[in-house]
A and B are shown apart, each in its own frame.
Chain A
Amino acid sequence: MKELLELYWVFCKMGAVCFGGGYAMLPIIEAEIVEKKGWAKKEEIMDYYAIGQCTPGVIAVNTSTFIGNKRAGIPGAIAATAGFVTPSIIIIMIISSLLQNFAHITFVERAFSGIRICVAVLIINATVKLWKSAVKDKTGLVICIIVFVLSAFTPLSPVIFIACSGIAGYFIGKWKGAEK
C-alpha cells in the first residue's frame, strides 16, 4: 500500500510540472525515476517511450503505466496513471469553469480571438515536426495523403482509417519481406 501511494505521489508531481506531454516529459522522467528513485534504467525508459509511441493512447500515460506496472503490477500501473492525470483533471476543471464564466467579457473574448490563431499555428508547426518523423518513404507518403483527403472531405470515422492502414501496413510489409 505504501508503495502504491508513493507511485501515485511521484507521478502526480510529474503530471503537475510537465508541460506539453510526450517528449517534453522525457527529461523529467529521467531525473525523477532513473536518477532519484532508481526505479528503472535509462535504456528501459527509452524502450517504454518507443513502445508508448506505437501503442494506442497518450505517450506519457503509457510510460507511466509501464513504470507503475514494473514496480507493483497492475495496481501499480493504475496508481501511477491515476497520479499522472490527477493534476490535469484539477487544473483543467478550474480553468474550464473560469472560462465559462468569463468568456463574455470583451477582454477575454478578444484575447481568445488572438489565441485561436496561435493555436492553429501551433498545430501546423507540430504537424510539420510529426510529418518528418513518421513519413519516411513513398508508401508512407501515399498512405498519409489518401487518409488526409478522405478524412478531410468525407465524414468517415478516424477509427476506420487507423484499422485499414494497419491492415495495409501488415500486407505491404509482408510483401516487401517476401521480395527480399
Chain B
Amino acid sequence: MTQLILLIIEFFKIGLFAIGGGLATLPFLYDLTVTHPDWVNRSQLLDMVAVSESTPGALGVNMATYVGNIIAGPLGGVATTIGLVMPSVIIIVIVAKFLERFKDSTVVQNVFYGIRPASIGLIMAAAFVVIKEALMNIPLFQETGSFTDLFKIKSVIFGAILLICMMKFKKHPVFYIAIAAIVGNIIVF
C-alpha cells in the first residue's frame, strides 16, 4: 500500500513537470532509474517505449502504465496512471475557468517561452541515454580503448537505414518496430 501511494506521488510529480506531450515524460522516467534503481532499469525503459509506441493510447499514459505494472503489478499500473493524469485534470479544470485570460496572458507566454526549449533539451538528454544503450558499447571501449569498439557497427548501420526510411516514408511507428523485430532475428545484434 505504501508503495502504491509512493508511485502515485512520483507520477504526480512527473505529470506536473512534463510539459509538451508524451515524450516529455521520458527524461523523468530516466530520472526514476537513478532515484529508484530498485523499481526499473534502463533497458526496461527501452522495451517500455517500444510497447507504448506500438499500442493505442497516449504515449505518456502508456509509458506510465507500463512502468507501474513492472514495479507493482496491475494495481501499480493503475496507480501510476492516476498519478500522471491528476495534475492535468486539476490544472485544466482551473485553466478552463480563465480560458481567455490564460491564452492572452504575457506572463504565461513568457514562462513557456523558457520552458519549451528546456523541455526539448531534456528530451535530447534522454535520447542521448537511449543512443548510448542501443548503439554504443562503452564498457568494451573502456577496456580496449579502440574507437572501432565504441559503436556497435551493425546496430548503427541498421539504425541509419531506419532513420532514412522514417524521414522519407512517413509510416506508422508500429511498421518500423515490426520490421526491426524481424531484422533482429535475421541479423543477431
- A residues with a Cβ closer than 8 A to B are 15-22, 25, 47, 50-62, 65-66, 69-70, 74, 77-78, 81, 84-85, 87-89, 91-93, 95-97, 99-100, 107, 110-127, 130-131, 134-135, 139-141, 143-148, 151-152, 155, 157-159, 161-174, 177
Contacts and interface: CB of A to CB of B under 8 A. Distances in A.
Interface in B1-36: 13, 15-23, 25-28, 31, 34-35
A109 to B, nearest CB: 9
B171 to A, nearest CB: 11
Nearest to B154: A117
Q: Give the one of A15, A20, A53, A107 with max B CB within 10 A.
A: A20
A57 B59 contact: no
Interface of B: 13, 15-23, 25-28, 31, 34-35, 43, 46-47, 49-62, 65-66, 69-70, 74, 77-78, 81, 84-85, 87-89, 91-93, 95-96, 99, 102-103, 106-131, 133-135, 155, 158-159, 162-163, 166-167, 172-174, 176-177, 179-185, 187-189
Nearest to B176: A118
Given A65-B85, A115-B180, A144-B117, 13 more contacts: A58-B15, A58-B58, A58-B85, A81-B89, A91-B57, A95-B51, A116-B133, A117-B155, A118-B159, A123-B26, A134-B20, A166-B112, A169-B115
Contacts of B87: 56-57
A111 to B, nearest CB: 4
Interface residue SS majority, chain B: helix
A80 to B, nearest CB: 9
The 3 A-B pairs at the shortest CB distance, nearest first, are namely A169-B114, A114-B184, A173-B110
Nearest to A165: B118
Given A110-B184, A110-B188, A116 B46 contact: yes
